[in-house]
């Protein structure tokens, strides 16, 4: 029997991924490439919604690819590509936009948050149509599962609705995908504001652990993480969100259970605990940072991987778009 398929994507919107991206999504990508037929893309078209500087976008796209490889993606074991290299993403996105209700799209929380914050005159239509492009990314590959963090759950629900709607109207065409969302770690919180998710768009970077930041900078950020009242290291998201977040990070990076880690810190204070978390994070990220920098020294190698990936992705995506165009009544070019 053929392996089930997974697809996921990540935006190249910053010079480095953060720990939330890794623990919420990319760590699962690495594991799933061994058991699934895996497609992973750097979604540069999605990144255009934040109007990046062209030079930075080019640089961040290659840095994203290098980080994914350094974090463990193996191009022999998965298809790694850049979204804009496969034109069918835009083609299917338009079809999805024509099938989505205006009200339905207006209810997407990311759009609502951004428009409430900046006003609808200041955000682009791309922010509004963003989830339909994401649905196209997933449906083109007939993915069974989509490994993402908690913040993408609503987009996956929309994708499922659109797949079902299309299948109902035009006949069985798309696999209806499921989100692959962890119970623990699907939402890593900001170290300075442990009730908000860790995010590159946070107002201050002091609560963000970047994969490519220096060991010194990350140690400093962890040691100055906001902690809670009391002094016991106990997992309690309501009373101790800061400590619970650090325990989640510690557990995810070491594979140890939270109970086991708590035991180590009985009778010790927050200072000892934060020192230990800093050590775990730095030990984990230092080789990733080094490997990323080494890979970036050879952009030709990265581009070859992407070109092979795009060819493999395109073969699957083009077959889907051909089927879709036929089903919805567009005539083939003679």
Residues that bind ligand TYM (CB under 6 A): 7-11, 20-21, 24-25, 43, 46, 134, 137-138, 146, 148-149, 151-152, 155, 186-188, 197-199
Q: What angle do CA 146, 150, 153 make, to 5 degrees?
A: 60
Identify the helix (H) or strand (E) that includes residue 56: helix 54-70
What φ, ψ does residue 10 adopt, rounded to 5°?
A: -145, 140
Which of 3, 27, 114, 183 is flagged as catalytic? 114
Q: How far is the CB of 216 from ligand TYM (least distance, A)?
A: 23
Which of 59, 200, 268, 312 is flagged as catalytic? 200
Q: Report CA torsion sign: 147, 149, 155, 156.
A: positive
Q: Which residues pair with 10 in a beta bridge?
A: 42
Q: How far is the CB of 164 from ligand TYM (least distance, A)?
A: 17
Q: Which residues pair with 210 in a beta bridge?
A: 18
Can you read off the two tokens belonging to residue 308?
Answer: 């092979």
Q: How far is the CB of 46 from ligand TYM (least distance, A)?
A: 5
> Which among 251, 262, 261 has a CA at the least distance from the CA of 284?
251
**Which residue's CB comes closest to ligand TYM?**
24
In a 10 Å sphere around its CB, with 0-12 CB exposed, 13-18 middle and 19+ buried, how is residue 300 labelled?
A: exposed
Q: Tell me if 262 sits within 8 A of 235, measured CB to CB.
A: yes
> Which among 204, 179, 181 has a CA at the least distance from the CA of 191?
204
Interatomic CA distance for residues 164 and 159, integer angstroms = 9
Q: How far is the CB of 331 from ligand TYM (least distance, A)?
A: 30
Catalytic-residue membership of 312:
no
Q: How far is the CB of 124 from ligand TYM (least distance, A)?
A: 15
Which of 3, 183, 187, 197 is flagged as catalytic? 197
Give the residue with the Cβ less far from ligand TYM, 148 or 313. 148
Q: How far is the CB of 266 from ligand TYM (least distance, A)?
A: 28
Can you read off the two tokens belonging to residue 88?
Answer: 């069918």
CA 131, distance to chain mean position in Å, is 14
Give the CA distances from residue 10 to residues 5, 148, 158, in Å, rounded to whole numbers and listed in that order.
17, 9, 18
Q: Which positions are catalytic? A: 114, 197, 200
């Amino acid at each position: 029997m053929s392996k089930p398929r997974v697809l996921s994507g990540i935006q190249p919107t910053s010079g480095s991924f953060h720990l939330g991206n890794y623990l919420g999504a990319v760590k699962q990508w690495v594991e799933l490439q061994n058991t699934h037929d895996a497609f992973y893309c750097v979604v540069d078209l999605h990144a255009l919604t934040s109007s990046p500087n062209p030079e930075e976008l080019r640089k961040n796209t290659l840095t994203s690819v290098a980080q994914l490889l350094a974090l463990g993606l193996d191009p022999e074991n998965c298809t790694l590509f850049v979204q804009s290299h496969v034109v069918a993403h835009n083609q299917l996105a338009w079809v999805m936009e024509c099938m989505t209700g205006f009200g339905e799209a207006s209810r997407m929380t990311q759009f609502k948050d951004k428009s409430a914050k900046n006003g609808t005159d200041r955000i682009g239509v791309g922010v509004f149509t963003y989830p339909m492009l994401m649905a196209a990314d997933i449906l083109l590959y007939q993915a069974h599962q989509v490994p993402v963090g908690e913040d993408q759950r609503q987009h996956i629900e929309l994708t499922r609705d659109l797949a079902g709607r299309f299948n109902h109207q035009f006949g069985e065409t798309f696999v209806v995908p499921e989100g692959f969302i962890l119970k623990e770690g699907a939402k890593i919180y900001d170290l300075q504001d442990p009730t908000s998710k860790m995010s590159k768009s946070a107002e201050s970077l002091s609560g963000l652990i970047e994969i490519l930041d220096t060991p010194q900078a990350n140690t400093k950020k962890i040691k100055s993480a906001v902690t809670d009242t009391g002094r016991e290291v106990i997992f309690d998201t309501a009373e101790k969100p800061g400590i619970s977040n650090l325990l989640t990070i510690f557990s995810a990076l070491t594979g140890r259970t939270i109970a086991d880690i708590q035991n180590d810190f009985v009778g010790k204070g927050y200072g000892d605990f934060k020192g230990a978390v800093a050590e775990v994070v730095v030990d984990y990220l230092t080789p990733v940072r080094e490997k990323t920098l080494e890979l970036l020294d050879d952009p030709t190698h990265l581009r070859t991987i992407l070109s092979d990936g795009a060819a493999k992705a395109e073969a699957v995506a083009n077959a889907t778009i051909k089927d879709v165009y036929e089903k919805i009544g567009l005539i083939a070019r003679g």
